[in-house]
């Protein structure tokens, strides 16, 4: 379960944006290179009884990874060459997008809720924890109990039905759910609650202005006329009083 969670956060999240920026073939090559090399190495480590299994596993890992990354960089170069010159991105930007961008974008979203998170968190989630968990899983899958039977399917000495079968089915169901989601993410759209954008309420007057601009203009002109009438009505008594004061001073 922890492996699938790391894959979902570190690899699936933001994958569509990466495919748009770098190309689907580039991302597929990178994913198969990363996971295929460590799975093959684990097969050599735990699937062979040779005394050189340890070194053979590391050699297999490095050779497959370097070969796969050479193919990935070749596809990435083709994507870069197809970009217009004015919008062509540097290799530093492309490699950052390939290795870190999607998971760091996810980290930025989390920061808004919980605060500071170090850069290394995203690196561990994407590049360190999944390979380690794959090695641990393969080690557990090939491990044997005291009777020489595989631990996978014979866990704890429990009977096959219902314990072993339910355990294996639970794993298979989880794996199938993740793989189907990666291949066709739209199938799970019904599981998400609709997101409602928060908007400030529009006042009634603003709504009327938008729906009937002519009426709004007439009301504005009428308001200006009323304001002018009030100003004149207030000014006339003041002017009359001032005139009367002036005449009284003249008589005196």
Cα distances from 232 to residues 223, 225, 241, in angstroms, run 14, 11, 14
Q: 144 forms bridges with which residues in the sheet?
A: 150
Q: What is the pLDDT of residue 122?
A: 92
pLDDT tens-place string over residues 9-33: 899 888 889 999 999 999 999 999 9
For residue 232, what pLDDT band results from cuts at 50, 70 and 90? low
Q: What is the pLDDT of residue 228?
A: 61
pTM for the model: 0.64
pLDDT tens-place string over residues 180-218: 877 787 887 777 666 555 444 444 445 444 556 666 566
Q: What is the pLDDT of residue 127?
A: 94
Taking the domains of the chain in order of start, what are their residue ranges?
2-142, 154-191, 211-251
For residue 44, how many other CB atoms are within 10 A of its CB? Answer: 19
| Distance between CA atoms of residues 117 and 181, nearest Å | 27
Residue 235 pLDDT > 70: no
Q: What is the pLDDT of residue 101?
A: 92
Q: What is the mean pLDDT of residues 158-168?
A: 87
- Write down the mean pLDDT value for the chain: 81
**Contact indicator for 95, 72 with CB cutoff of 8 Å:** no
For residue 114, what pLDDT band results from cuts at 50, 70 and 90? confident
| Distance between CA atoms of residues 183 and 181, nearest Å | 5
Cα distances from 55 to residues 39, 48, 62, 165, in angstroms, run 15, 12, 11, 36
Tell me if the bond preceding 240 is cis, omega within 30° of 0: no
């Amino acid at each position: 379960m922890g492996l699938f969670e790391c894959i979902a956060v570190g690899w699936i999240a933001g994958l569509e944006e990466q495919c748009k920026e770098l190309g689907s073939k580039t991302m597929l090559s990178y994913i198969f290179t990363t996971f295929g090399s460590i799975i093959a190495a684990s097969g050599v480590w735990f699937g062979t009884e040779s005394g050189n299994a340890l070194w053979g596993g590391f050699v297999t890992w490095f050779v497959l990874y370097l070969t796969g990354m050479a193919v990935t960089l070749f596809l990435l170069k083709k994507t870069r060459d197809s970009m217009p010159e004015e919008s062509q991105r540097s290799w530093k930007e492309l490699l950052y997008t390939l290795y870190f961008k999607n998971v760091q974008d996810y980290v930025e979203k989390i920061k808004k809720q919980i605060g500071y998170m170090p850069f290394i968190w995203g690196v561990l989630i994407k590049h360190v924890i999944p390979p380690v968990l794959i090695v641990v899983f393969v080690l557990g899958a090939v491990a044997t109990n005291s009777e020489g039977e595989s631990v996978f399917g014979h866990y704890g000495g429990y009977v096959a039905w219902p314990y072993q079968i339910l355990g294996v089915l639970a794993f298979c169901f989880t794996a199938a759910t993740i793989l189907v989601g990666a291949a066709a993410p739209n199938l799970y759209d019904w599981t998400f609650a609709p997101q409602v954008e928060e908007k400030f309420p529009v006042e009634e007057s603003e709504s009327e202005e938008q729906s009937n601009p002519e009426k709004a203009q007439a009301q504005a002109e009428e308001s200006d006329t009323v304001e002018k009438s009030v100003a004149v009505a207030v000014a006339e008594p003041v002017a009359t009083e001032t005139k009367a004061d002036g005449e009284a001073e003249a008589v005196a």
